[in-house]
Each structure stands twice: as structure tokens, then as C-alpha cells.
Structure 1
Amino acid sequence: MGRCWKITAVVAGTAAVAAVAAWPAAATGTATGTAPSGPARNGWRLVDEEGFDRPPRVDGAPWRLDPQGPRSPWNVDAFDDDGEAWKKISGPLFARRLATLNVFRKRVAFGRNGWLTAEVAAVDKDRDGRPDSRPGLSAKTLPDGRKVGRISEPSWDAGVLIRPTRPLPRHYRVEMTLRGIDFGGKRNGTFDYKGRHNGYTKEPCKTRYPWTFQGALPGRKRCDYPDVTRENGFYYMTILDYATPAPHGNPGIHFRRKVIMDGYYSDDARWKNAGTCDPRTGRIYRTFDGTFNGVNALFPRGDLFRETANNNISNEYYIKTRCGNVSMDKPYGPGNRFEGHLTSAEIRPELLPEAAYRFAVERDRTGYTLEMSGPFRNIGQATLRVHHDFIENGRPIWHYNQTPEEYDGRFDRRLVHKGPAGTYTTEHAWPKGSAYPDSFIIGDPHLNYYEGEAYVDDIRLYVPADGG
């Protein structure tokens, strides 16, 4: 992992070149730590770990104004914060909306040899030259003396995530231990607790402005945009298809995920028919009858997109659980009253930090495995694992190939993204000759959604013990 190199990634038809070798030197902070000493995993050899025994020195790092545009260090592609896609589907209105705010950022390497990077961002809505909130990553000592990393996001108009400084190797296991989570969901049967609703403080005008899947909304001002406080969440361990993930407006990430393990805590009416798996019995129960603390384990499909009247900037998903498998574009099956989404299990936040949950993703020669361990509702302490081949029954995982040689171009297609002012066309969503590095994220990658704090620990990276 000490080797430095350049990665060329074709993301949604746009080439994004990241000079990975330059990141540690350019980032703020000191790369410290000792050799890995964490537990062995069957068939895997530990190569990097972070236990937060030393402060990551993120909160004291200076803020930097994101200049936006193709020269920005945080530029990704046409679906970026100020990307060409939004300009096409929204016309001049989107540019006017975006001009009402600034985005300030931090990019800080930490851990042994700087193997991890914290990406922190916050919106400056009044353009006074300062971010409106103070999100960050710091070290915290739990009552039992354990050191953890505290992801703090006191306002929804900000984002904090942890990613690897360099793309992940060809085959790997990456894992994280969760020691605390307060990003919404119910507690003691209600969304209202600690003076908050669903994890959000109760100030007015918490909206998804200016980024929506439809682009800018004609005739609506900031506070007229849809409210976000019914939707909170956290990414436990998710793999994206480009090298430098950072918080952005929420639509863009839906086009960049390879595999997903996240929590999405929403009582929005569109989930009224969704189901949650009881891993103990193998039966599905109504999500609205649960605690809204479910974990989603999703495989984005590379052959199927959400074709709606306004956009298709999102893949459909394939879900594997102990209650069976489902593709989200279809009902669960004959006689089943649930449809749409299927959550794999529910965590119990009240048991933390005395208990813990471990989330892991493995990429081997055949595909991806999602793993979650901990004291889940209904079943108690358990380890849940699901595997999906890169291509399984003709169904591919989106952008699975890290090199051009791993993919022959068979799932390439043209996508038309519609908006109120026009359309943007992705001519080649997955062309032959493309390559997509793996990079994990932990935290909140959204600049206009999610609010709360979480305690994370023991981030570890393994490679095959046999060198494969």
C-alpha cells in the first residue's frame, strides 16, 4: 500500500484523472501510527488499520473555498455540484441558485502513513466567507477508556466522510466498527427525542436546496424546496467508483455506488409498502412497524436504471437477505404485500457503545460480499453475509471493473436525464475500455441531507493472505 500511482477513472462517461501520489503531501495533518496489529481474518492479511489512538487533526485544519468547475480539486463529472448535467436540465436557473451559496472544504490525511483521508464540507449560505456550521472528525474517549473517532455533523447543510487516500487494491476486505450512532431513526418508539425530530434540530427551512434529481425547481425559493427532516441516514461502508469521494449534493452519489451498506431512516409515505427482514424467522415485516434503524445491503444494477418522468440518475438495486432476494423494480413475489425496498436487519443503537457493530465489504476474484455483525433486532448477536458475483444470472454490479480488461463493454448504454428546462445525455454510461477504482466511504456524503453524530473505530484493510 506504500506505492504511489495514478488512476484514470471513467465515471458516467467522463474521464476523471486523479494524481493519487500528490494527496498525502498536499493534505493537512501528520501521518502517524504504528504497524498494523489488529485481528487476523480467515484468508486475509491485515495491511492497514486505524484505532483513533491519536487525534486525526482534522478539526484544526483550515477551511478552503471550493472554486467549483473542472479545476476544483473536488471536481468529479457532469453530475458534480455545479456539473454540466444540472446546467442542461435546469438552464440558467440552476446557476443562479448555486450562486447564492459557497462551499468550504477540508481534505486531511491521517492514520499510519496517511492511508486514510477525511473529507469535510459545509455550505456558506449567506456568503459571508465562513461555513455556516462546524462539522468535523475528532478523537473521543468512551467511558470504558476506548478511543474512537467522532463524526460530528451539527447541521444538515454539511458533510463528513472517511475514505482511503489511495484506491483499494484489486482484492481486499475493508471493515469498520461502529460504537455509536445518532443520525435519526426512532428511539423508544418515537422520532422525537433530545429536542430533535429524526435526529434534526427543529429550526425551519431545512430543505434539499439547490440539488434535486430534477435540478433547480422553478418558482421556488430556498425554503420552498422539499423538507429533508423526514429523511436522515448514515453510510456504514459503501464502495464508490472513483478515487476521491467527498461530500456533494445528494443526487450525484446515486450514479457512483458499486455496493452499499447504509442506514436510511425515513417515514416518508413512499416507504409505506416497504419491508424489513427478520433474520431469525426469515419472514418479512412492515418497515413502518419497526424501529426505523434498518441496515440496507444493496447491489446497484449495471443493467437497469430508474426510468421516471424526471430523471434516471440512479440505478435499480438487487437485494439479498435471509428472507430471500428481490430486485427493487419488481414486487417481492406473488401474494407478498410488500414491494419496493427490503431492509436486511435492524440495529439497536441503545446498546452502543457497550455493544458494537462491524460492517465489512470484501472484493475477491468472483464478486463482492457484504457483511454485518452485531446484536440485531429479533435475532440477537449474528453475522449476516451476502455475496453477488460481478455478473450473476446476467445481472451486473454497476461499474465493477477496476481495469479495462475486466469488462467487455456489453452493458454500455445511452441515458437521457430530463429536467424542467432541457435534457442531458450520457452517451456512454459504461463503455468498453473504461475503468473504475474502488474507494470506500464511511459517514455522510451529502451537502443537503443528514444531520447527527457517530462514533467509528477499528477501520481495517486486509488483502488476501495468499497474495492473490
Structure 2
Amino acid sequence: MRGRRTIAMAAGGAAVVAAAAWPATAGTATGRTGPSDRARPSDRTGPWVLMAQEDFDRPLRVDGAPWRLDPQGPRSPWHVDAFDDDGEAWTKISGPLFGKQLATLNVFRKRVAFGRGGWLTAEVAAVDKDRDGRPDSRPGLSSTSLPDGQKVARISEPSWDAGVLIRPTRPLPPRYRVEMTLRGIDFGGKRHGTFDYDGKHNGYTRGPCKTRYPWTFQGALPGRTRCQYPDVTRENGFYYLTILDYANPAPHGNPGIHYRRKVIMDGYYSDDDRWKNAGTCDPKTRKIYRTFDGTFNGINALFVRGDKFREAANNNISNEYYIKTACGNVSMDKPYGPGGRFREHLASAELQPELLPKAAYRFAVERDATGYTLEMSGPFLHIGQATLRVHHDFVEDGRPIWHYNQTPGEYDGRFDRRLLHKGPAGTYTTEHSWPKGSAYPDSFIIGDPHLNYYEGSANVDDIRLYVPKDAR
């Protein structure tokens, strides 16, 4: 194994800010001994105080909780906005067809708080396609043990028409470091050079009619039945650690989340032809290679742009991304690399899933007084054990991170704009996408937020929340 290496594209400092509404301090960054050290922030991240932690040493009670039928609509406990599962946006761009298709299924959910003081919440959801009053699969979050006896949380999603998330019960403090340790991942990508292993393809169990029905960026698709919708099994993935702009994230139809992300660290394992020109960074040589020439286990570390949207592809529902890697910085609205050879995603590195659970990967997001830092550590392909860190100011070179402001005073309205979302039957208009006086809390997610994509399992070793030492 190579020695530990650190590649820092930019630095991020700590800030002096109060962190109200959170439990009393649980320790410091050097506090516990033994197994807890696997998630300890390194000295270069600054003086951090441990505010909350979950090591999954105690049994989880999520799977035994009863299912609840989501009533949908504004009164639903899981309602967010017009881009919800049954949101006004989809009705406007699809006409009555979307409502008819949505009426062919139910969504059942669980919301279970856990951890000391209930600081974490599990959000579990599953579709009931035949409307027999029961979810069609049994996704969940449970306790399990690694071969060495270490207790971990197992995210289990045996069917694509479901979702499982871990999130904070309350929005995150103004300044923080949140991190998680991954000890197992089986949400697709190649193993030993092939997508076909363990009787699955790209992490999906084999079976007919695994489609993205009924949620697409264009709304309902006229003239297509459930099984005639696009197949999803060439596209699998997992959110290692991502910050959203609202307080109560839960699994929904996949287009909606693309309008709600601030910064992202996720895996998207797809050999779909539209990604044939995507690139992956080799942190060792600092050169980009074709994702199709790799193992399809890349990690995307993305800063979501608040000034550009994917108008042609996604109807202004998905923002463009800005990416900083050891191979350079790129904006995803333009070709990149030598001669403009690459386009679409640029992965920062590739995992080596076969090294888990003996090895571990740690993912962390820091928010300081200036912006966000994304950090990943572990035995990456090509470079071995390393820590990769990148920082982006809230507004950098005129380029804002989407909805970065937690309070109205942090933002003056300069990036507000009117957005049109066009579909086969009509247009939905967002009159103010980011108005003056708005505010957007930070909330992280770990897992799968999609009700019509992704299938597999993952083991999470621990989750920790820190605040700057001076904030106390």
C-alpha cells in the first residue's frame, strides 16, 4: 500500500459562529480512543469540536417501525414544493396524463429518529405498484457486524422502486464538518472487469420492467406504459454525502432532487452511451482518462452552480456543476480536457470496492465562513491511500454555489432569475428561483434518494458532526 497522500486544491478555514439547537458537546477531535479514531478529522482541518456522533454500536429499530401511506399533497409530512412526487410542476408540463399515471401506485414511508438525542433520522420509502396496501419491497436500515466484529449500519435496498436515506433530524449549524465512514458498497459499477456478478447486472437483480416510471424530467411520456419507460439498470449509484437546501429530505422521484443540491459527493455508475465521453481523473498522474476505460466506480465531487441550468437536457430542473480535481477545474457546461475531448461528468477518483470492509473510505463536507470544502479519504485506484480536498467559495469568480445562504442576510438576491420548465403538454414557471430575502438550511443525505432508480446495499461505519472549537 502506498503511503498516505494529501492533494488539497484550496484551503478552508474555521469560523467563530454559535451552533444553537444542537446537543451538548460530545467530545473533541482527539477525544475517543480505539475504533472511533477511524473517523477522526486530520489536524489540517483545523480545531474541531465533536458535537454529535453515531457509531452504530446499539441496535437500530428502523425496520420494525410501521409503514405509513404517504397522503401526497401539501399536507403530507414529506411535502417539499412544486417538484414533489405529485408536484404542480409535473402536472403543468404533463397535463392530466401525469396524474393518471401517478394514480396507478402508492408510496409507503417510514421516518424514524435514532442516535443520541435522536439527532439522526432514517427516511425509508417504497412503491406499491399494484396498490394492494403493502410496499412491493422491503428496503431498510439495520445493524450488522463486519467480519472483525465491528458494528455498522446496513442500508438495504433490494429493489429499484424504493429509497433509503440517513439525514440529520435538525438542519446543520452555520459552520460545521460532517463526515461518514463507508465500509461496504454494492450499488453497481464493475467488479473484476464486468458489470455482471453475483447474479446481478450493474448491481440490479435481474427482472423485467425496471423503469423510471412515472417520474422523468419531461414529465409523463405520452403513449408509453410502465414497462415502455426507459430502463434504469444501466444507471446505478449512491450518495456518499451530499448537502441539500431543505430540512427534511426523503426519497422522491429522481428529478426533484436535482433542483435541491448545494454540494455533492456521490457515485454514478453508468455505461449508458450518453456518458461515453465522460472523464475520470487519475490523481497520481493528474491526467484525465475515459470513464469507459475505468472500473465505473468513480466519485463525483461537485459544486452545484446557482447561475447556470441544464436547459436543453433537463428543462431547467437540473443545475450545471463546477468541479475541482487534481487534474484541474472544469465547468460541466463546456467540453474539457486536451482538445475538448471530454464532456458531461468528471469523476475525481475511483473507489476500490473489493478492498472493503478491511479498508474504509471517509467522506466529509465542511462549511466555513467562506464556502464549502469536499474531502474524501481512502485507498483510491491508481494513487493508493490518499486524502483529496477541494474548496469553493460561496461566490467564486462570479460563480455562486446554489442556495448557499442559510439566512437572508448572507445573500442579496443578485442571482435570482425566472425559469421555464417545458414539457409535452405545457410549461411550469418558477418566477423566482433564488429571491432576495430567501434562506435555505443545510441538511445532509447518505444513501439513495430516488424512488425510481438505484438498487443495492451499503455499510456505514459511523457518522460525525463537528463545529469549530471557537464556536463554543
Query: TM-score, normalised to structure 1's length?
Result: 0.92
- CA 1:278 to 1:310, structure 2 compared with 1: closer, same or farther past 3 Å? closer
Aligned equivalents of 2:442, 2:186: Cα separation in 1: 28
Matched residue SS, 1:85: helix
Inter-CA distance 202–325: structure 2 relative to 1 (3 Å threshold): same
Cα gap change, 1:113/1:282 in structure 2, threshold over 3 Å: closer, same or farther?
same
Q: RMSD of the alignment, in Å?
A: 1.7
CA distance in 2, matches of 1:438, 1:82: 24
- Structure 2: distance between partners of 1:287 and 1:155: 26
SS of structure 1 residue aligned to 2:339: coil
Name the amino acid aligned to 1:148: V
C-alpha distance in structure 2 between counterparts of 1:87 and 1:192, whole Å: 38
Letter of the structure 2 residue corresponding to residue 287 of structure 1: T
Contact 2:232 2:453 in 1 (8 A): yes
Does residue 1:118 correspond to 2:122, yes or no?
yes
Gaps spanning 5+ residues in structure 2: where?
1-17
| Counterpart pick for 1:452 among 439, 443, 456 | 456
Secondary structure, counterpart of 1:466 in structure 2:
helix
Q: Indicate the residue corresponding to 1:183 in structure 2.
A: 187
Residues 25 and 50 in structure 2, CA contact (< 8 A), matched pair in contact too:
no
Alignment-derived partner of residue 467 in structure 1: 471
C-alpha distance in 2, partners of 1:179/1:307? 38
Q: 2:88 maps to which residue?
A: 84
Any conservation in 2 of the 1:309–1:418 contact (CA below 8 Å)? no
Task: Name the counterpart of 2:140.
Answer: 136
Aligned to 2:302: 298
Deviation of 1:274 (Å): 0.8
Q: What is the correspondence of 1:199-214 to structure 2 with a 5 Å cutoff?
A: 199-214=203-218
1:197-236 equivalences in 2 (<5 Å):
197-236=201-240
**2:49 paired residue among 45, 50, 55:** 45
Report matched runs for 1:262-281 at 5 Å: 262-281=266-285
- Residue 160, structure 1, aligned to residue 167, structure 2: no
Answer whether contact 1:260 1:296 (CA < 8 A) is retained.
yes
Which position in structure 1 is the counterpart of 2:408?
404
Alpha carbons 2:19, 2:467 under 8 Å: kept: no
Instruction: Give secondary structure in 2 for the equivalent of 1:234.
Output: strand
Distance in 1 (CA, whole Å) between partners of 2:202 and 2:338 is 34
User: How far apart, CA to CA, are the structure 1 residues paired with 2:343 and 2:423?
Assistant: 27
Aligned with 1:359 (options 360, 363, 376): 363
CA distance, structure 2, for counterparts of residue 463 and residue 2 of structure 1: 7
Q: Distance in 1 between matches of 2:385 and 2:21?
A: 40
Summarize the alignment of residues 96-107 of structure 1 with structure 2, pairs less than 5 Å apart.
96-107=100-111
The aligned runs of 1:367-382 (5 Å cut-off) are 367-382=371-386
TM superposition outliers: structure 1 runs of 4+ over 2 Å? 1-5, 33-42
CA-to-aligned-CA distance 1:80-100 (integer Å, 9 cap, x gap):
000000000001000000000
Q: Distance in 1 between matches of 2:234 and 2:343?
A: 21
Q: Which residue of 2 aligns with 1:347?
A: 351
Quote the Cα distance in structure 1 between the aligned partners of 2:348 and 2:266.
11
Counterpart-to-counterpart distance in 2, 1:447 and 1:329: 27
Quickly say closer, same or farther: Cα 1:130–1:404, change in 2 above 3 A.
same
Residue of structure 2 equivalent to 1:8:
none
State whether residues 288 and 337 of structure 2, in contact with CA within 8 Å, keep that contact through their aligned partners in structure 1. no
Q: By how many angstroms is 1:340 displaced?
A: 2.3
2:199 matched to 1:195?
yes
**What is the CA–CA distance in structure 1 between the aligned matches of 2:465 and 2:410, rounded to whole Å?**
23
The answer (yes or no) to whether the contact 2:26–2:50 under 8 Å persists in 1 is no
1:111-165: CA deviations, max 9, x gaps?
0000000000000000000000000000001110100000000000000000000
For residues 284-342 of structure 1, the C-alpha deviation after alignment (integer angstroms, 9 at most, x for no partner) is 11100000000000001000001117611000000000000000001115524222221
How many residue pairs align between the two structures? 442
TM-score by length of 2: 0.92
Q: Deviation of residue 204 (structure 1)? A: 0.3
1:2/1:107 Cα in 2 relative to 1: closer, same or farther (>3 Å)? Answer: farther
> CA 1:179–1:335 in 2, change beyond 3 Å: closer, same or farther?
same
SS at match of 1:235: strand
In 2: Cα distance, 1:331 partner to 1:454 partner: 33
Q: Unpaired segments of 5 or more residues in structure 1?
A: 6-30
Distance 2:418 2:55 in 1: 44
Q: Report the Cα distance in structure 2 between the residues aligned to 1:228 and 1:270, rounded to whole angstroms.
A: 14
One-letter code of the match for 2:147?
A: P
- The residue type paired with residue 95 of structure 1 is G
Contact kept, 8 Å, 1:121 with 1:247, in 2: the verdict is yes
Q: Which letter maps to 2:290? A: R
What code does the residue aligned with 1:185 have?
A: G
8 Å CA contact 1:259–1:299 kept in 2: the answer is yes
1:94 alignment partner AA? F
**Secondary structure of 2:390's partner?**
strand
CA contact (8 A) 2:211 2:452 kept: yes
- CA deviation map 1:48-99 (0-9, x unaligned): 0001001120000000000000000000000000000000000100000000
Which residue is equivalent to 2:70?
66
Letter in 2 for 1:407: Y
Q: Secondary structure, in 3 states, of the residue corresponding to 1:288?
A: helix
In structure 2, what is the equivalent of residue 18 of structure 1? none
| Whole-angstrom CA distance in 2 between matches of 1:336 and 1:87 | 39
**Alpha-carbon distance in 2 for matches of 1:204, 1:155:** 12
User: Counterpart of 1:295 in structure 2: which amino acid?
Assistant: I
Q: C-alpha separation between the residues in 2 aligned to 1:356 and 1:4? A: 32
Shift of 1:3: 5.7
Instruction: Tell me which of 144, 149, 153 is aligned to 2:153.
Output: 149
Quick one: which amino acid aligns to residue 392 of structure 1?
E
Is the 8 Å Cα contact of residues 35 and 112 (structure 1) preserved in structure 2?
Answer: no
- Aligned mates of 1:129, 1:259 — CA distance in 2: 37
Deviations 1:195-239 (A, max 9, x none): 000000111000000000000000000000000000000000000
Query: Is contact 2:20-2:173 (8 Å) kept?
Result: no
Distance in 1 (CA, whole Å) between partners of 2:300 and 2:176 is 21
Q: Does 1:56 align with 2:60?
A: yes
2-structure distance, mates of 1:199, 1:138: 20
Pair 1:346–1:170, CA change in 2 (3 A) = same
Cα distance, 1:292–1:151 mapped onto 2, change above 3 Å: same
**2:390 paired residue among 386, 397, 408:** 386
Aligned: 1:424 with 2:431? no
